[in-house]
Amino acid sequence: MASSERPLNEVVFLTVAEVAAVMRVSKMTVYRLVHSGHLPAIRVGRSFRVPEQAVHDYLRESYVGVGETA
């Protein structure tokens, strides 16, 4: 197990609506991120659950500072 991985019983999963609220985007944007593979998720029945840490990791990696060029 990698050092950043946690036992599954300690992982906090968020609904798509909760992820959208954290990221301040629409639920459709979250679905697009999940379906494109940019945001990992598990499927529970017909809905998705996203590990909370994955949301934080995605935001950290996507951050663009002022004055940086792509």
Which pLDDT belongs to residue 3? 43
Domains and CATH numbers, the chain: 10-62 (1.10.1660)
The pair of structure tokens assigned to 45 is 């029945």
* pLDDT tens for each residue of 20-60: 999 999 999 999 999 999 999 999 999 999 999 999 999 99
The DSSP output letter for 43 is E
pLDDT tier at 63, thresholds 50, 70, 90: confident
Which pLDDT belongs to residue 8? 76
Which pLDDT belongs to residue 39? 97
Orientation angle between helical segments 52-62 and 16-23, nearest 10 degrees: 30
